[in-house]
Structure 1
Amino acid sequence: MQDPRNPRPPSGLAWRWAVIGLAVVGTAVAFGYAGGWLAPDRLSPKKIINVLQANSGLHPGYRRNHAKGICVGGRFESSGQLAPFSEAKLFAQGISTPVVGRFAIPGGNPQAPDSSAPIRSFALRFDMADGEQWRTGMNAMPVFPVSTPKDFYDLNVATAPDPATGKPNPDKAKAFFGSHPETGPFLAWISKAKPPASYVDETYLSLNAFYLVDKAGQRHAVRWQVAAETPSTGDGGPAAGDTDYLAADLQKRLAAGPARWHLQFVFANDGDPIDDASKIWPDDRKVVDAGTIVIDSWQPQADGPCRDVNYDPAILPHGMAISGDPLIVARSAAYAESYLRRTSEEGHLPGTERPKEAQP
Structure 2
Amino acid sequence: MKSLFIRHAHASTTRKMLSGAVLLLLASPVIAADQTTPEKNVNEKIVDTMTVLAKGPYTGFRANHAKGIVVTGTFTPSAAAPTLSKAAHFQSAVPVTVRFSDPTGVPTLPDASPNASPHGIAIRFQLPDGGITDIVSISFNGFPVANPEDFLALLTAVSSTKPDSPKPTPVEQFLATHPAAKRFVIAPKPAPVSFGTLSFYGVNAFKFTNAKGESQYARYRIEPLAGNQSLNEEQLAKAAPNYLMDELPTRLEKAPVTFRISAQLAAPGDVTDDGTVIWPDNRPQIELGVLSLTTMAADSLAIQKTLAFNPLLLVDGIAPSADPILLARPLAYSVSVRRRLSGN
Q: What TM-score, normalized by structure 2, do the two folds share?
A: 0.88
Query: Which residue of structure 2 lines up, in the alignment, with residue 358 of structure 1?
Result: none
SS in 1 for 2:51: helix
In the superposition, relative to structure 1, how do residues 38 and 263 fare at CA in structure 2: closer, same or farther (>3 Å)? Answer: farther
Query: Which residue of structure 1 lines up, in the alignment, with residue 295 of structure 2?
Result: 297
Query: Which residue of structure 1 lines up, in the alignment, with residue 22 of structure 2?
Result: 26
1:57-96 superposed matches below 5 A: 57=55, 58-92=57-91, 95-96=92-93
Please, which of 309, 312, 333 is the counterpart of residue 311 of structure 1? 309
SS in 2 for 1:112: coil
In the superposition, relative to structure 1, how do residues 302 and 223 fare at CA in structure 2: closer, same or farther (>3 Å)? Answer: same
SS in 1 for 2:252: helix
Q: Which has the higher helix share?
A: 2
Counterpart CA distance in 2 for 1:49 and 1:166 is: 26
Quick check: 2:7–2:163 contact (8 Å CA) kept in 1? no
What amino acid maps onto 2:27 in structure 1?
G
The offset of 1:80, in angstroms, is 2.6
Query: Which residue of structure 2 lines up, in the alignment, with residue 353 of structure 1?
Result: none
What amino acid maps onto 2:210 in structure 1?
D
Q: Unaligned stretches of 5+ in structure 2?
A: none
Please, which of 100, 104, 111 is the counterpart of residue 101 of structure 2? 104
Please, which of 245, 249, 252 is the counterpart of residue 251 of structure 1? 249
Mapped pair 1:114 → 2:111: yes
Counterpart CA distance in 2 for 1:179 and 1:114 is: 31
Counterpart CA distance in 1 for 2:123 and 2:65 is: 14
Counterpart CA distance in 2 for 1:233 and 1:168 is: 40
Counterpart CA distance in 2 for 1:48 and 1:134 is: 25
Please, which of 265, 271, 274 is the counterpart of residue 273 of structure 1? 271
The offset of 1:286, in angstroms, is 1.2
In the superposition, relative to structure 1, how do residues 131 and 181 fare at CA in structure 2: closer, same or farther (>3 Å)? Answer: same
The offset of 1:211, in angstroms, is 0.7
In the superposition, relative to structure 1, how do residues 13 and 130 fare at CA in structure 2: closer, same or farther (>3 Å)? Answer: farther
Counterpart CA distance in 2 for 1:168 and 1:99 is: 50
The offset of 1:291, in angstroms, is 0.7
SS in 2 for 1:223: strand
Cα distance per residue 1:287-306 (max 9 Å; x no partner): 011110011112353223x4
Identity across matched positions, percent: 27
Query: Which residue of structure 1 lines up, in the alignment, with residue 207 of structure 2?
Result: 211
The offset of 1:60, in angstroms, is 1.1
In the superposition, relative to structure 1, how do residues 198 and 166 fare at CA in structure 2: closer, same or farther (>3 Å)? Answer: farther
Quick check: 2:111–2:243 contact (8 Å CA) kept in 1? yes
Cα distance per residue 1:66-102 (max 9 Å; x no partner): 001011111101113110221111111xx11111110
Counterpart CA distance in 1 for 2:168 and 2:224 is: 36
The offset of 1:329, in angstroms, is 1.6
Cα distance per residue 1:112-163 (max 9 Å; x no partner): 111222311111110101022211211000111111111111011111275x
Counterpart CA distance in 1 for 2:182 and 2:163 is: 27
Counterpart CA distance in 1 for 2:179 and 2:22 is: 21
Cα distance per residue 1:154-193 (max 9 Å; x no partner): 011111275x75999971111100011232432342xx22
Mapped pair 1:187 → 2:182: no
In the superposition, relative to structure 1, how do residues 56 and 17 fare at CA in structure 2: closer, same or farther (>3 Å)? Answer: farther
In the superposition, relative to structure 1, how do residues 170 and 97 fare at CA in structure 2: closer, same or farther (>3 Å)? Answer: farther
What amino acid maps onto 1:115 in structure 2?
A
Q: How many residues align?
A: 329
SS in 2 for 1:212: strand
Quick check: 2:16–2:186 contact (8 Å CA) kept in 1? no
In the superposition, relative to structure 1, how do residues 168 and 150 fare at CA in structure 2: closer, same or farther (>3 Å)? Answer: farther
Query: Which residue of structure 2 lines up, in the alignment, with residue 288 of structure 1?
Result: 286
Query: Which residue of structure 2 lines up, in the alignment, with residue 16 of structure 1?
Result: 12
1:163-242 superposed matches below 5 A: 171-189=169-187, 192-235=188-231, 237-240=235-238, 242=240
What amino acid maps onto 1:131 in structure 2?
G
Further displaced range: 153-162 or 230-239: 230-239
Mapped pair 1:335 → 2:333: yes
The offset of 1:43, in angstroms, is 4.5
Quick check: 1:55–1:161 contact (8 Å CA) kept in 2? no
Counterpart CA distance in 2 for 1:36 and 1:143 is: 26
The offset of 1:111, in angstroms, is 0.7
What amino acid maps onto 1:101 in structure 2?
V
Quick check: 1:32–1:44 contact (8 Å CA) kept in 2? yes
In the superposition, relative to structure 1, how do residues 75 and 38 fare at CA in structure 2: closer, same or farther (>3 Å)? Answer: farther
Query: Which residue of structure 2 lines up, in the alignment, with residue 150 of structure 1?
Result: 149
In the superposition, relative to structure 1, how do residues 216 and 249 fare at CA in structure 2: closer, same or farther (>3 Å)? Answer: same
The offset of 1:48, in angstroms, is 1.3
Q: Unaligned stretches of 5+ in structure 1?
A: 1-8, 347-360
